[in-house]
Amino acid sequence: MLNSAQRKIALVDPKLPRAVDVSYPAEEVGFPFDRTLSENDSGILTKILFVNYEDSTQVKNKNIKKLVGHIQSVMGDKEWTIIRAGELTDEYFEVVERISHGHRIKSNPGNDREDDLTSFASKFCAKHNQKAPFWDNDVHELLKYWGFPAKYRNYPDYVNALRQLRDQQELGEFSLRHIEGHLWKIMNRINSGVRQEDISKGENGRYWKQ
């Protein structure tokens, strides 16, 4: 749920500001998500470590070996091709779902349920194409507060909510990855106590697209 400070700013500006950071994401897929590495255990391990470090997915070190094996078991040539294309189709959603579940990773020994890795899986897949959005809890909450609800950790629903917001705000020139990244920055600044008037500014005081 949004806390009181987040609700205050959301009430001040309840719609997406007409501003998108055009520097995010990078236009080209970079290492190790380009084709530099093979899709073997070593390559998958490197990719997991990059996602975990860069995007704070919080997969515990003790579970990484199990996750490598899980991804290896669900990813074939067809699946790698799908995530590299980055088209948000049912096939793409299925790959995210298959990585998210069935891995038998349980961070809490007292919990019989395996961890839901939707956030990690969405980032792992999206980094291969730079077009698909990450699933992010803060963005999910902001979308819900602005009237674009989605089932929790349901990636297709989340993507649909982003599409609805993009259509309403006439942001068709931007990818969902751009928009999700901008919403994440808004929430990050809100959580950091940045003033409302600064949210629509870019890095070094540069204004984003108005």
Q: Is residue 141 helix, strand or coil?
A: helix
The confidence score (pLDDT) of residue 1 equals 56
pLDDT score at 206:
31
Amino acid at 126: A
Give 65's pLDDT tier (boundaries 50, 70, 90): very high
User: Tokens for 185?
Assistant: 């920055």
Residue 24 binned pLDDT confidence (cut-offs 50, 70, 90): low
State the pLDDT at residue 50.
Answer: 93
Helix axes 4-12, 137-145, angle to 10 degrees: 50
User: Secondary structure of the chain: what % helix, strand, coil (to 5)?
Assistant: 55, 0, 45
DSSP of 85-111: HT--SHHHHHHHHHHHSSS---SSTT-
Predicted local confidence at residue 77, as pLDDT: 95
Q: Say which range, 55-64, 149-158, 166-175, 198-207, has the weakest mean pLDDT.
A: 198-207
Single pTM value for the model: 0.82
Q: What is the end-to-end Cα distance of the chain in Å, rounded?
A: 29
